[in-house]
């Protein structure tokens, strides 16, 4: 049985240009999944496009930092940043608060439910959940989040950890490899969560492309695709989009490179699919939890 690959675009709903690129790539057969931001400026546009393209798997891209909440700020005070309205402005600020015990689990649960509910109320069948900046790699986020998913009957979650084989590739420089290796020390605790162990919530064998974020050009993508094992399910995370005026209005470090990623997907995915032992392209809805 060949390996299976989910090609997921994050940031669906952030801008109309990102939404348009996701749909174009899906219709071109090189992207199978996207995760939708509940409070993204282009949320309504993304919902219309998702409903018009039912073969696209749509997950919920839960945001706990660098964005606006779906809950009233006074209901989730431990998640709110200095302005009193939005989340903390950076991953570093969030992690410092998390590790110092400032973030309350009940606030994470309340906000996760609020973001998931917004997608469900818009008619989106949620295939899975992941988190902005991969915050659920921390046990203090993954634990309440997995409980929410089980209660909400959402059967899959991103495995936020990158497999060893991609860290040895040329695109990952020494500093990036050290960062990934350090974060991967949290992986055993992720796999030991009861929902993961008993497959009430399923995941992949790992997410590739994390170490290539900001460097996912056609050459790098081909290198990653050619290194995939012959068996197992994996996710490729990407951030395609058009670098337009709408993108200028939002906070993101990925700007011109979003168009580089679009071109990389259009070039490298068909080439890999034409080779022997090509991976089967799926979305998270094709992974089956134990209770289904």
Instruction: For residue 11, give the CATH number of its domain.
Output: 3.20.20.370
Tell which residue, 139, 215, 225, has the closest CA to residue 171.
215
Per-residue pLDDT, 1: 67
C-alpha–C-alpha distance, residues 204 and 25, integer Å: 22
Q: Flag whether pLDDT at 291 surpasses 60.
A: no
* Per-residue model confidence as pLDDT tens digits over 105-143: 999 999 999 999 999 999 999 999 999 999 999 999 999
Mean pLDDT taken over the chain? 93
Residue 74 lies in a domain: no
* Residue 69: both structure tokens together: 């909440």
DSSP alpha helix (H) spans, the chain: 16-27, 43-52, 91-99, 105-121, 139-151, 164-167, 174-183, 187-191, 194-197, 218-226, 245-248, 256-273
Burial of 95 (0-12, 13-18, 19+ CB in 10 A): middle
In a domain? residue 17: yes
pLDDT digits (tens, 9 = 90+) for 238-255: 999 998 888 878 777 677
Q: Which two tokens stand for residue 77?
A: 């005070």
Structure tokens at 140: 């203090």
pLDDT band at 174 (very low <50, low <70, confident <90, very high): low
Question: Which residues form the domain of 194?
Answer: 4-62+122-286
Look at residue 257 in the predicted model and tell me its pLDDT. Answer: 85
Number of domains in the chain: 1
Model pTM? 0.94
CA distance 254 to 273: 27
**197 in a structural domain:** yes
Q: What is the pLDDT of residue 292?
A: 46
Buried b (16+ CB within 10 A) or exposed e, 200-219: bbbbbbbbbbbbbbebbbbe
């Amino acid at each position: 049985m060949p390996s299976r690959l989910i090609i997921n675009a994050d940031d669906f709903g952030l801008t109309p240009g990102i939404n348009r690129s996701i749909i174009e790539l899906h219709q071109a057969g090189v992207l199978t999944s996207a995760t939708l931001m509940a409070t993204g400026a282009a949320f309504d546009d993304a919902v219309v496009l998702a409903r018009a393209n039912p073969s696209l798997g749509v997950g919920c891209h839960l945001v706990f930092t660098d964005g606006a909440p779906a809950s009233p700020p006074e209901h989730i005070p431990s998640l709110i940043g200095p302005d009193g309205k939005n989340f903390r402005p950076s991953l570093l600020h969030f992690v410092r608060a998390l590790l110092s015990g400032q973030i309350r689990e009940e606030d994470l649960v309340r906000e996760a439910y609020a973001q998931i509910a917004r997608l469900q109320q818009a008619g989106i069948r949620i295939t899975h959940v992941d988190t902005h900046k991969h915050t659920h790699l921390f046990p203090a986020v993954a634990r309440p989040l997995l409980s929410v998913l089980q209660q909400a009957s959402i059967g899959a979650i991103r495995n936020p950890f990158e497999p060893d084989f991609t860290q040895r590739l040329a695109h990952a420089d020494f500093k990036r490899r050290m960062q990934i290796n350090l974060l991967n020390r949290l992986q055993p605790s992720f796999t030991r969560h009861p929902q993961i162990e008993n497959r009430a919530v399923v995941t992949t064998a790992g997410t590739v492309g994390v170490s290539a974020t900001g460097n996912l050009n056609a050459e790098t993508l081909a290198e990653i695709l050619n290194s995939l094992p012959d068996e197992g399910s994996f996710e490729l995370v990407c951030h395609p989009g058009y670098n337009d005026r709408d993108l200028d209005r939002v906070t993101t470090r990925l700007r011109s490179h979003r168009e580089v990623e679009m071109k990389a997907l259009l070039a490298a995915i068909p080439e890999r699919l034409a080779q022997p032992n090509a991976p089967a392209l799926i979305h998270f809805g094709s992974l089956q939890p134990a209770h289904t």
